Structure formats: C-alpha cells, structure tokens
C-alpha cells in the first residue's frame, strides 16, 4: 500500500510525457531541400500536406490559386481567377492576420482580404476600421493608442463573425527597465513554414517579436514573380504559419533563395534592374516591416523596441558583383552610409544588426561572407563602433545551415559577437565546428549531438532591470530543449568596457 502514491505519481508522469510526445508531430512526407527548391506542383502539394492536410477548403483554394499563378507570368493576387477561387471556397481572407511593426503604443496588422466586406479589428475596448480595398490587395492597419508593455487580445470581425484573432504584447517604452525578448533565425525555407512543433515552441517562449533573417518562404523563383506569389500563398494557407504570424510580430529580411536563387545577388546575369525591382515589390507586398522612406533602395530598415534598436540589412539586392572586393560592393555605398548614421543616432542600449550571410569568415572558407565581398566596408563599420564607443552591438546572421556562435576579435582586444541559428528548416550544412577556431563559442551542422535533425531558433533576452544590463542568447530546439545558453553584459559589448568572456 505504501507504494500506491508512488505508482500514481509515476502513472501521472507517464501520462504527461505521452501528452508531450503527442504534441510533437512528425512530417508524414519529408520533403528534401532540393525538392523544395524545385517547387513543382507535386512537391508544393506534398509540403502543404506534410504535417497533415489543412482544412479542405483552404487546400483546394491553394491548389486553384497556384494553377492560376503558374498559368500567367504577370499574375497577381488581385486577378479574377485567384479572387474567384477564394470566394468559391468561402474565404474571407487569402492571407493574414500577420503582426508586424511592433511599437510601445501598438502594432500593425497585415491582411489580404478576398472580399470587399467591411471589417473591423477589436483590441481591448478600442475598434479600428479596416480600409476597403480591391479584393486580393494587401491592407495594413496601424493599431495605435495602446499602453506600453501590455498584453492585448485582438479579433478581426466581418459580417458579425470572427475571421481572425490572436494576441500580442506591446514593446516597453524606451526608458523602461525590465526584460525584453526577441526570437530570431533563418533558413526556414518552405519546409519549416509548415512545422507546428517549431512555431509552438517559439510561441511558448513568448517573445515580444521575431526576426526572420532570410530563406523563409519563397524558394529559387528567380524573376518569376508569379511563382514568388504562389510560394507566399502556400505560406499563407499553412496553419502553423498563421498561428505564428497572428500572435508574434514578425520582422523579415531576405537572403539568396527568397531573392533570386542560390548565391545570387545584385543584378544577376541574364536578369535586369527591372527584374530586381519586381522582386523587391513582391517582397514588400508580402511582409509587414516598418515603413521605410520612399527613396531608399533595397529592403533594409531599422526600428526601436524598448531597449533594442533592430537593424535589418539588405545583403542581397544592393550588392555589385562587378565590383566584388571593392568598397561598397556588399551593401552598396548608400546602405553603408545609412547603417553608419543609424548606429550613430541610436540611443538604444542594445543594437541587433542582421546580415543574411555571415559577418565572420570562419565558415565555408568565407564563400559568401562580408569578408569575401567587402572587407574594407566591414572594417570601416567595426572601426566606427570602436572609435565612437557605440555599445551593445550584437551581430546575427544566417545562410550557412546549422547553428554557430563566434567571437570576432579586433586588434584592440575588443570582441564582436556573432550568433547564427540557421536551423529553422532543420537542414544540415557545413561542419558545425570549425577546425582550429578558438573564437568559436558553439557549433552544430544542422544535427544535434544525437544525430537528429536540429530544428531550432535563437533567442535574445535583454535584462535592463539590473544595475549592469545583460543579454542572454539561447538556442532552443523544436521540443523546447535549450541547447546553448550564453550571457553577455552590456559592458562586454561596449568598446572600452569589460572584455571578460
């Protein structure tokens, strides 16, 4: 009899374990990255169904829309064939809600309505009208007038029905002292977009926002903007994606695969400046980043959220392949100057700067890193940060599948820190650990220590409540396991501050 409480407790524990395992869904049909890059109708349909078929009306709408996109190189979301398919399958929205542009007084909601039915968004005791637009057009609604650092539920209404809902937490005000959390990662590709395990774990961590650093949803479509749009429609019918985008504000930049194709940049051979402009237009249409000034080339931007200035660079479309190795060939001189001025003007304690490809030259013999393109501009930026005492700079990157962390030591003894969790799609890349590299903090090739595919994301938790503010990086896999944890003080990230590791 004395053993009964133990047996009951054991039974309860086993039940909990079984419930947890039941939540982790394995793909029924694993699509390889090479297949995803080819992106035929058959492959994209397998991706759509990989974690269980979506509701049939959504599935059939996607298939009808994809055929319409493929049939016409000039097709857009407003074409009658695509809008009629949405109406035929009873859809009020073709995409969204997607949260973005998080601020201390609100957020922006991105929607692609399929009808002209009047809609409104309820947030707390406030209501916001959704501007009318041609069906298939993107509508952005700026939800403002809210309180800082506050959790809100929202609901999207049309014809007396709730057609979208979610939650978000506004950013803290600039002077607030407390905790602020960002998730980030790259190389999701079309494979990871449908993974419910990954997005569930990101939501569990309750980040204020997430940064997507490239190779996200469109895959190797070159200048075929109709197929870029088809890939975004595949994203927008994915249940796991809708859960993420409707509850975590997203900020996005691109890399090669969602730009044109593998390792392509600038104006690739056989393409034109008009092709680049068209691809940029489709990108802006399908993401919900903060607005940028109209004269800016590229897709780069910056935004302040509480203690953090987020600076997301365009490390693809502004490159100049004809001048590779010369100053300005990587970012372009205009973006380089913008980046320097943004850093000079920022009053945020921490600055997170994203690069689609790696800042350091340690991996793949610097095949596509800053250093192999434009060492002079990179060193100019590093020197500026040191000379002007710009503190709190953290470098994040993607492209080289796997997860790695590095110090980038300077002649002065100061270290920059780079974190690269390029594992959202669980695809292996180069060796995780670089040989004879004492600057490396950790490394995974795309598989964990047990040889399983590593599907993981990065996380920064900023703590300004302390007398000496800190940031903690964590690498977290799709099952919620913290694989890596590294704390840095603001002093360590400030030239002239503590250099202790």
Percent of the chain at pLDDT above 90?
88
pLDDT of residue 464: 97
Alpha-carbon distance of 318 to 267, in angstroms, equals: 9
> What is the band of 19 on the pLDDT scale with cuts at 50, 70, 90?
very low
Predicted confidence (pLDDT) at residue 497 exceeds the cutoff of 90: no
Residue 124, Ramachandran bin (φ over 0: left; ψ between -120 and 50: alpha; else beta): left
Per-residue pLDDT for 342 more than 90? yes
Which domains does the chain possess?
173-489 (3.60.21.70)
Residue 209 has which token pair?
């926002």
Over 70: is that where the pLDDT of 426 sits? yes
Pairing of strands 119-123, 126-130: antiparallel
Closest by CA position to 224, among listed 258, 178, 176: 258
Q: What is the mean pLDDT of the chain?
A: 93
pLDDT of residue 463: 98
Q: What does the pLDDT read at residue 451?
A: 75
Instruction: Categorize the per-residue pLDDT at 446 as very low, low, confident or very high, splitting at 50, 70 and 90.
Output: confident
C-alpha radius of gyration, the chain, whole number? 23
Q: pLDDT digit string (tens) for 322-331?
A: 999 999 999 9
So what's the pLDDT on residue 292? 80
Q: Summarize the confidence of residues 295-307 as an average pLDDT.
A: 92
DSSP designation for 319: -
pLDDT of residue 12: 44
pLDDT digits (tens, 9 = 90+) for 356-400: 999 999 998 888 999 999 999 999 999 999 999 999 999 999 999
Q: pLDDT category, 11, cuts 50, 70, 90?
A: very low
Q: Answer yes or no: is pLDDT of 4 > 50.
A: no
pLDDT in tens, 264-297: 999 999 999 999 999 999 999 999 999 887 667 8
Lowest-pLDDT range of 115-129, 210-224, 437-451: 437-451
Side-chain-side CA neighbours of residue 74 (13 Å): 1
Averaged pLDDT for residues 160-178: 96
pLDDT tens digit sequence for 396-417: 999 999 999 999 999 999 999 9
Q: Report the C-alpha gap between 421 and 424 in whole angstroms.
A: 8
- The pLDDT, as a whole number, for residue 23 is 60
CA separation for the pair 320, 374 (Å, rounded) = 10
CA distance 43 to 190: 10
395: left (phi over 0), alpha (psi -120 to 50) or beta: beta
pLDDT in tens, 48-93: 999 999 999 999 999 999 999 999 999 999 999 999 999 999 999 9
Structure-model confidence comparison of residues 337 and 25, the more confident one:
337
What is the average pLDDT across 338-366?
96
């Amino acid at each position: 009899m004395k053993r009964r409480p133990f047996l009951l407790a054991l039974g309860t524990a086993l039940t909990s374990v079984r419930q947890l395992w039941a939540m982790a869904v394995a793909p029924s049909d694993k699509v390889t990255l090479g297949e995803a890059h080819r992106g035929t109708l058959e492959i994209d349909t397998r991706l759509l169904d990989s974690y269980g078929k979506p509701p049939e009306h959504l599935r059939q709408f996607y298939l009808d829309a994809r055929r319409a996109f493929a049939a016409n190189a000039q097709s857009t979301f407003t074409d009658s064939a695509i809008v009629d398919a949405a109406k035929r399958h009873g859809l009020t929205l073709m995409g969204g809600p997607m949260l973005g542009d998080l601020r201390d007084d609100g957020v922006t909601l991105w929607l692609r309505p399929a009808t002209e039915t009047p809609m409104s968004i309820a947030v707390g005791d406030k209501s916001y009208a959704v501007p009318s637009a041609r069906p298939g057009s993107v509508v952005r609604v700026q939800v403002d007038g809210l309180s800082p650092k506050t959790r809100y539920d929202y609901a999207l209404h049309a014809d007396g029905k709730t057609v979208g809902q979610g939650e978000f937490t506004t950013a803290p005000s600039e002077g607030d002292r407390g905790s602020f959390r960002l998730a980030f990662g790259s190389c999701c590709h079309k494979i990871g977009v449908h993974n419910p395990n990954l997005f569930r774990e990101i939501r569990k961590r309750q980040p204020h926002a997430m940064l997507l650093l490239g190779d996200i949803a469109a895959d190797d479509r070159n200048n075929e903007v109709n197929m870029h749009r088809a890939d975004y429609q595949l994203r927008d019918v994915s249940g796991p994606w809708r859960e993420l985008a409707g509850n975590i504000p997203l900020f996005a930049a691109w890399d090669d695969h969602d730009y044109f194709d593998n390792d392509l940049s600038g104006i690739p051979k056989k393409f034109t400046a008009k092709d680049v402009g068209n691809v940029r237009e489709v990108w802006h249409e399908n993401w919900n980043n903060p607005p940028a000034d109209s004269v800016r080339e590229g897709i780069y931007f910056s935004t302040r959220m509480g203690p953090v200035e987020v600076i997301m660079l365009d490390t693809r479309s502004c490159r100049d392949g004809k001048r590779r190795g010369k100053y300005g060939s990587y970012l372009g001189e205009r973006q380089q100057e913008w980046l320097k001025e943004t850093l000079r003007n920022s009053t945020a304690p921490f600055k997170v700067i994203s690069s689609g490809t790696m800042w350091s030259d340690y991996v793949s013999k610097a095949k596509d890193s800053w250093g192999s393109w434009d060492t002079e501009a990179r060193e100019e930026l590093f020197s500026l940060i040191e000379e002007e005492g710009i503190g709190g700079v953290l470098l994040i990157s993607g492209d080289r599948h796997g997860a790695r962390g590095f110090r980038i030591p300077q002649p002065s003894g100061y270290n920059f820190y780079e974190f690269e969790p390029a594992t959202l799609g669980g695809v292996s890349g180069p060796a995780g650990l670089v040989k004879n590299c004492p600057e490396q903090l950790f490394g995974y090739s795309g598989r964990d220590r047990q040889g399983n595919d590593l599907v993981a994301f990065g996380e920064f938790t900023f703590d300004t409540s302390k007398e000496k503010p800190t940031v903690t990086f964590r690498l977290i896999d799709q099952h919620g396991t913290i694989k890596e944890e590294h704390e840095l003080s603001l002093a360590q990230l400030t030239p002239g501050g503590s250099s202790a590791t």
